[in-house]
Structure 1
Amino acid sequence: MKRYKLRIPAPAGRLETVIDDPENNRQGLLLVAHPHPLHGGSLDNKVVTTLAKAANEAGWVSVRPNFRGVGMSDGAFDAGMGETDDLLAVARFVEASYPGLPWALAGFSFGAFVQHRLRQELPAKRLILVAPAVTMYEFDAVPADTVVIFGEADELIPPPAIRLWAEKQQLTTKAIPDAGHFFHGKLKELKQAFLEACPC
């Protein structure tokens, strides 16, 4: 496994990004978006790192940017709009080094909102939304093969709201029993649900 720590050019300036590359027999590229920047979200979030490691074990290159204004990333919070543009710039930069590899997109909470917007501009084999903040942001329709993962004990985003949003679009859902919003003590179950959802 090789790790690259970069500051990638984006509309906000440069975004701090960690790329973990399994190097051998690469299967694809996973772009992971972290939770809310103004509430402690970063590329080091344990849900984000769990998803990235799971993808790496399956032969996928994981890409974890810090949103604008987080860590060493330039810029300031833009409620998901500018963040979407930034992630597209990161994806275009990264894919130049990995031509032909397919994308999968995963986002956690606020990151799920950003990724569902990015999916409208970036073709991907799969969109995976973890604890999507559907009661905090206006989500558009997503592709039919989108997978929604959430905890049945989520204390921030009501599980019935997530389930209803997904059911209206006939999306596949994976509910993790007794898991809260941040999946404390449930990362193993989260990893398993992600691997079942990911094309990796």
Structure 2
Amino acid sequence: MTSTIRADVPATFPAESATFLLHGPVGALEVACEPADSESEARDGIAVICHPHPLHGGTMHNKVVTITERALRELGLDTVRFNFRGIGNSAGTFDDGEGESEDLARVVDWARRVRPGADLWLAGFSFGSYVALRNAQRLDADALITIAPPVGRWQFESIELPDCPWLVVQGEEDEVVDANAVFEWIEQLDVSPQLVRMPETSHFFHRRLMDLRGAIKNGMREYLPAPRHQA
């Protein structure tokens, strides 16, 4: 997927879809943002969404990422997606989650500049959920969504867990992530995220994307920030 890239970095959140290059830790970061679906229903919040593994075809255009973006935009949040270093028009090379965490932090910094005072929601799919989770507490996220968190593939034991509302969505027939390992990990946590188990669902949510959209909207609706015009 290609899109026109703005020559400037927006100083305010764009009123329509926009893609631009943000100065990142190792060079340009390709960022795409979308305003909330209806300004009259817009909430005082912004969601930043992380994509799956860069070395296995993951980009900000992944279907799970884009359906997550759609769900959050329909809830009234402005949304931001971006390509981790080395993907698309983002500079650099894969850095095993460390550098990608700094990429996320840089994008969050921009989001907070253009939406000062707004709630920050983080979301991610697969590897992106690992990056979102490991940074949620240090970035002071107000809500977190992790889809198919790759427990067993990455170091989850030492992650500082968030104290914000947290939704986990996991397909029961995931062929990439061990679903049982995810369920067992959640049972052992000191915090209790809301878990949505999706039966007959693969890693990439084939034929279940609309169900995923509904799970996100139903699971997170009660945590929405105030309408923007009232905030």
TM-score (norm 2): 0.83
The runs of at least 4 consecutive aligned structure 1 residues that moved more than 6 Å come to none
Shift of 1:107: 0.7
- Number of residue pairs matched by the alignment: 200
Give CA deviations for 1:103-149 in whole Å, capped at 9, x if unaligned. 11111000011111221321122111100011100012422532211
Counterpart code for 1:178:
E
Cα distance in 2 between the residues matched to 1:12 and 1:162: 33
The equivalent residue for 1:161 is 181
Give identity over the alignment, percent. Answer: 38
Cα distance in 1 between the residues matched to 2:97 and 2:63: 21
Counterpart code for 2:169:
I
Cα distance in 1 between the residues matched to 2:23 and 2:218: 33
Which of 216, 223, 227 is 1:194 aligned to?
Answer: 216
Cα distance in 2 between the residues matched to 1:120 and 1:76: 25
Q: Which runs of 5+ in 1 are unaligned?
A: none
The equivalent residue for 1:24 is 39
Cα distance in 1 between the residues matched to 2:130 and 2:26: 18
Asked whether the equivalents of residues 86 and 94 of structure 2 are also in contact (C-alpha less than 8 Å), the reply is: yes
TM-score (norm 1): 0.95
SS at match of 1:50: helix
Shift of 1:171: 2.5
Which of 136, 144, 161 is 1:142 aligned to?
Answer: 161
Cα distance in 2 between the residues matched to 1:141 and 1:180: 28
Cα distance in 2 between the residues matched to 1:163 and 1:39: 24
Query: Is the aligned partner of 1:104 residue 2:121?
Result: yes
RMSD: 1.4
Counterpart code for 1:171:
P
Cα distance in 2 between the residues matched to 1:191 and 1:16: 25
SS at match of 2:214: helix
Shift of 1:24: 1.3
Shift of 1:77: 0.3
Counterpart code for 2:16:
K
Query: Is the aligned partner of 1:90 residue 2:110?
Result: no
